[in-house]
Amino acid sequence: MGNRGGAPSDDAIRAWARLERVSQSLLAAMESDLKAKGFPPLSWYDALLELRRAGPNGLRPYELQNEMLLAQYNISRLIDRLTHAGYVECLPCSDDARGKVLKITSKGETLLKDMWPVYREAIREHFSEKIGHQDVRALGRILQRLA
């Protein structure tokens, strides 16, 4: 499988570059669609989704960062914005006096619910509609091997 031990092939280098460009392009298109409908950035959706999935126990900031789909290099700034907007509450951690636990608020749940139709449509329009069901499944299998 692959070119073990040697330099990557030209095809591999081109595919890697294309994957990166396409990923950036798709994310930009989805961000644009959300912004056009008056929603905050996709990273807000990503963070709120992970906090909802965490349930009533919430997540510590480093746990949130580890769970997020999108790379978030300044998690503290994102948390501050979400907290200030009322979408997330930051509570003291019961087993670490200096630690914090993040939990989604009902306002955050509402934002997540309101953003999903726009995000879902962006996924369909910019991704799945362009390559079709068979290719989506094949791509999913390929990416699973990389994971």
CA distance 23 to 2: 22
Q: Is residue 100 part of a domain?
A: yes
The DSSP code sequence of the chain is ---TTSPPPHHHHHHHHHHHHHHHHHHHHHHHHHHHTT---HHHHHHHHHHHHHGGG-B-HHHHHHH-SS--S-HHHHHHHHHHTTSEEEEEETTEEEEEEEEE-HHHHHHHHHHHHHHHHHHIIIIIHHHHHHHHHHHHHHHHHH-
Do the beta carbons of residue 35 and residue 43 sit within 8 Å? no
Instruction: List the one residue out of 2, 109, 94, 93 whose CA is nearest residue 52.
Output: 109
Q: Is residue 99 part of a domain?
A: yes
Domain that holds residue 105: 41-146
Provide the pLDDT confidence category of residue 84 given band limits of 50, 70 and 90.
Answer: very high
Q: What percent of the chain has pLDDT over 90?
A: 82
Domain assignment of residue 20, yes or no: no
* Structural domains of the chain, count: 1
Residue of 38, 41, 42, 58 lying closest to 105 (CA atoms):
58
* Residue 18 belongs to some domain of the structure: no
pTM for this prediction: 0.85
In tens, the pLDDT along 44-76 reads: 999 999 999 999 999 999 999 999 987 767 889
Tracing tokens 């912004």 back to the chain, one arrives at 35
| Mean of pLDDT over the chain | 92
The model's confidence at residue 24, banded by pLDDT at 50, 70 and 90, is: very high
2: pLDDT strictly greater than 90: no
- Say which CATH number the domain at 48 has: 1.10.10.10
pLDDT 10s digits, 91-100: 988 777 778 9
Residue 74 has, within 13 A of its CA and on its CB side, a CA count of 5
Report CA 64 to chain centroid distance, whole Å. Answer: 11
Does some domain include residue 32?
no
Residue 26 lies in a domain: no
Q: Is residue 31 part of a domain?
A: no
Please tell me the predicted confidence (pLDDT) of residue 74.
86
Looking at the DSSP bridge assignments, the partners of residue 102 are 59, 90
Q: Is residue 62 included in any domain, yes or no?
A: yes
